[in-house]
Amino acid sequence: MNIYDISKQAGVSIATVSRVLNGSDKVSPATREKVLKVMEQNSYTPNAFARSLGLNSMHTVGILCADSSDVYLASAIYYLERELRYHSYASMLCCTGYQLEEKKKYLQLLLSRNVDALFFVGSNFVEDTEKNNAYLFEAAGKVPVFILNGYLAGDNIHSVLCDDSLAVSEMTDTLIKRGSRSPVYLYRSLSYSGKRKLAGFQEACEKNGISDGKGRAFSCPAPVHDTMTFLAGLEKDLTFDACITADDELAVGAVKYALSQGKKIPAEFQVTGYNNSLLSTCSTPEITTVDNRVEFMCTTAVSLLMQVLDGKDIPARTMFSADLIHRETTN
């Protein structure tokens, strides 16, 4: 509910509702009481971020992410907020966690603040079934919805994402061409993006005659020492000379594992990461990684939002290619 709904139910002008909200003395007691009664009946709370109560636009955008401590998500939030400020929009951030009910709760919180649009940062917001995605479709019926690094088809839903499948496929293909004969792939999530990355690894294995590609992909705990322990245990049952990972944190664990086992990097063991985060350059040796261009993704998404708010048509899906960043952990 907004002030337009309040004015309609109370039978007064929008300007009168605005005067009541601002405590103006230019409203009669009877009219004030009528307006306040409608607000109370509808549990209406004025949006503190509104630039002007006489405008439908709050100049505020809601941002939802699962975990702001994640290096990739934190970077995306920074770039989104920077671009929104440039366009004179404020932002409201909610860290939802990964449970569906929590996502729904925080979404309703943002909608109750009359935001002009919603950004869902990360492919974990795209659920496995249409039923579980219903909350996204409902939100898109009220405001423009942007999904960053994920894809969902629907009216008023716009997806901006990197071609993760192609990026991992190209990276795997490169390692094989540079000497790897038995790579493994580590991931920690099978979100929309996670599934696309896994598909890219398996596709490259098949292309290069590695018949057991599906048996060389493993879900792995992300903390560095847990990754080291996992790979040490895996080595007892499987031979591998390269580790391709779904993110840079897993890659750091793979580097530490190799060094702890006395393996020479990259001559005997190659490692690649994903996201081109600070972790990839803080590691010794520095890690070859995929730059999925998070800054470009965010600036593009905000630019597209401005076009939507101007009444222009934009594509439902905008996909771009990643860059492979070669450093010291590959031949």
- Rounded Cα distance between 252 and 272, Å, is 9
Predicted local confidence at residue 7, as pLDDT: 83
Find the mean pLDDT for residues 273-302.
Answer: 97
Q: Which residue has the higher pLDDT, 35 or 319?
A: 319
Indicate whether 331 belongs to any domain: no
Predicted local confidence at residue 216, as pLDDT: 97
Same domain, yes or no: 200 and 216: yes
pLDDT exceeds 90 at position 54: no
- Rounded Cα distance between 314 and 296, Å, is 17
Task: Tell me which residue range forms the domain holding 182.
Answer: 164-291
Say what the pTM is.
0.82
Indicate whether 327 belongs to any domain: no
Answer for the pair 238, 297: CB distance below 8 angstroms, yes or no.
no
Tens digit of each residue's pLDDT (9 = 90 or more) over 30-40: 998 998 898 88
What domain count does the chain have? Answer: 3
Return the CATH number at 120: 3.40.50.2300
Find the mean pLDDT for residues 295-312.
Answer: 95
Convert 133-182 into a string of H (helix), E (strand) and C (coil).
CHHHHHHHCCCCEEEECCCCCCCCEEEEEECHHHHHHHHHHHHHHCCCCC
Tens digit of each residue's pLDDT (9 = 90 or more) over 180-212: 999 999 999 999 999 999 999 999 999 999 989
| pLDDT-based confidence at residue 288 (cuts at 50, 70, 90) | very high
Same domain, yes or no: 182 and 117: no
Q: Are strands 117-121 and 145-148 parallel, antiparallel or unpaired?
A: parallel
| pLDDT-based confidence at residue 280 (cuts at 50, 70, 90) | very high
